[in-house]
Amino acid sequence: MTSAAKLKLPSGPSRHVYDVIVLGSQLGGALAASLLAKRGHRVLLVDHDGMGPGYEHGGYVLPYAPFVAPPLKAMPAIEEALSELGLTTTVQRALRPHAPELQLVMPKNRMDLHADATRRKAEVTRELGEEGEALLGALAGTTAQHELTDAFFKAQPALPPDGFFEGWGLKKLIRAHPGLEAPPHLAAETPAAALVRSLRPFINHLDRPESPLALTRPLSQVLSTPCFFNGGHDGLRELLTRRLAELGGDVLGRDSPSGFIVEELSFEGSKFAGVKLVRSDTLYRAACLVAATDSSALRRLVTDKKHHRGLLEHLDQSTTKSILFTVNWVVPESALPRGMGELSLVDTQDAELGSMLIQLHPVRATAGGGKEGKDVDGLRVVCAGVFVPATARELGDEHLQTLASRIDAQLDAVMPFTAQHRLLRSAPYLDASGSRGTRLMPHPLYSFESEAVLGVTGLTQRTPVKNLLLAGREVLPGLGLEGELLAGVRAARLVQVMLKKKDPLKG
């Protein structure tokens, strides 16, 4: 059976018993599933809540949100995991640097932050004069700062720690890496420095990061070379999912009419036993579950609230504070302003909207006319996102339309005369009508009741249900994309320890 066939299996796999079931579409789960399959375990990945490769509107497949990734070399522990899967070269080829790397758009200045030091200096000096020297020094220090903590993460720390011994071992490792406490270089209160710092929410999942590590590492990684992954966040997930299928793992994806939605988690006593799907009598059983979906979505699948109060209290430690609200414009490439960068950070001068991130995407057509999924020559998607309170969704479509109109006005200011050539305007929260549940949360920001170790952790991976582990973006929210993938790497290790103790066929 080919990997493509596995990904499109309409009736589910014939096997109903696995070593591990991975639930959810977040990247940590896809990576954990692939690693466990590579190591010889029987794995079932149930997509359940995946957003898919964009949403369809007006004949186009559009992105849910901007997605900026660091280069692979800035995430050495992840590079090692991908090397084990034989994907390093594939991912490196798919990660393309933006051109220019980042463009800053302020009321009186617009400048390109080129990776090349000479070009960057000429650009910043031209726009800011002598004041640009401080910014150049801070940027140089920032882009190299992640190197101070690379060795710490290559050592595969128990992060977040669970229990005395993990906590003790982590403290010992932290003492050996003083770079974890190095202060940010971009601390100046100039408009340009403040604008660069405002990139942070777009590259991590922590509502208000305060620790040096949360403030420096993700920003340093991305600023070293801001990259675009072909297909965005979901393109990377699809790559990992295909590798899982090639390694013999089973995938229940979005290709059936039911979408293989999980109806509830099944327990036997205090332990996870399996998953039940909507409109299916089959119970898929496993020795353990790795959850790579948001805690709020996982909580809804626990139907026996009384007997699993501990698990629910664990999940309730996470609160979604903000969401990334996006507006997409489909426009001819010729209508874009000359010199507009592929990745722009805009000072909106609007206290409520804050900074706006704009990313240019290729345009893909929907099914029909033989162009399904293909780039449409001469067109671009202008994908613009701002963070708004999570409560914005509860205020109704009229409020969301007002937000979209305010983003339209900001885009008009950045791209004068482009709107008159616009072929489509679309907002995922308003126009992705086929989406469900957590699909409309492409990039939330969380706060947690639990202690934030090193200022980057959220929910511990081990839960009160001993054979249920977490590998979602709420585990290491302060580390952004790297944290999401690190949670998957560690979840795979924890599962391996668990599988030595129990055979699911004997349960």
pLDDT of residue 439: 58
Please give the C-alpha separations between residue 423 and each of 331, 334, 412, 504, in angstroms, as whole numbers. 6, 13, 15, 54
pLDDT of residue 259: 58
505 secondary structure, DSSP code: G
pLDDT of residue 4: 40
Q: 3-state DSSP call for residue 221?
A: helix
Please give the C-alpha separations between residue 24 and each of 8, 271, 349, in angstroms, as whole numbers. 17, 19, 38
- b/e 226-240 (16+ beta carbons within 10 angstroms → b): bbbbebbbbebbbbb
pLDDT of residue 341: 94
Cβ neighbours of residue 320 closer than 8 Å, sequence gap 6 or more = 294, 296, 390, 441, 444, 445, 446
Instruction: Give the whole-angstrom CA distance, residue 75 versus residue 481.
Output: 9
pLDDT of residue 15: 81
Q: 3-state DSSP call for residue 372?
A: strand
Taking the model in full, what pTM does it have? 0.93
pLDDT of residue 349: 95
pLDDT of residue 467: 97
CB 328 within 8 A of CB 64: no
Instruction: Give the whole-angstrom CA distance, residue 460 versus residue 289.
Output: 15
pLDDT of residue 198: 97
Encode the chain (507 residues) as per-residue pLDDT tens digits: 344 434 433 456 768 999 999 999 899 999 999 999 999 999 999 987 766 778 899 999 999 999 999 999 999 999 999 999 999 999 999 999 998 999 999 999 999 999 889 999 999 999 999 889 999 999 999 999 999 999 999 999 999 999 889 999 999 999 999 999 999 999 988 999 999 999 999 999 999 999 999 999 999 999 999 999 988 888 899 999 999 999 999 998 765 444 578 899 999 999 999 999 888 888 999 999 999 999 999 999 999 888 999 999 999 999 999 999 999 999 999 999 999 999 999 999 999 999 999 999 999 898 764 444 556 789 999 999 999 999 998 999 999 999 999 999 999 999 999 999 999 999 999 998 765 445 578 999 999 998 899 999 999 999 999 999 999 999 999 999 999 999 999 999 999 999 985 444 444
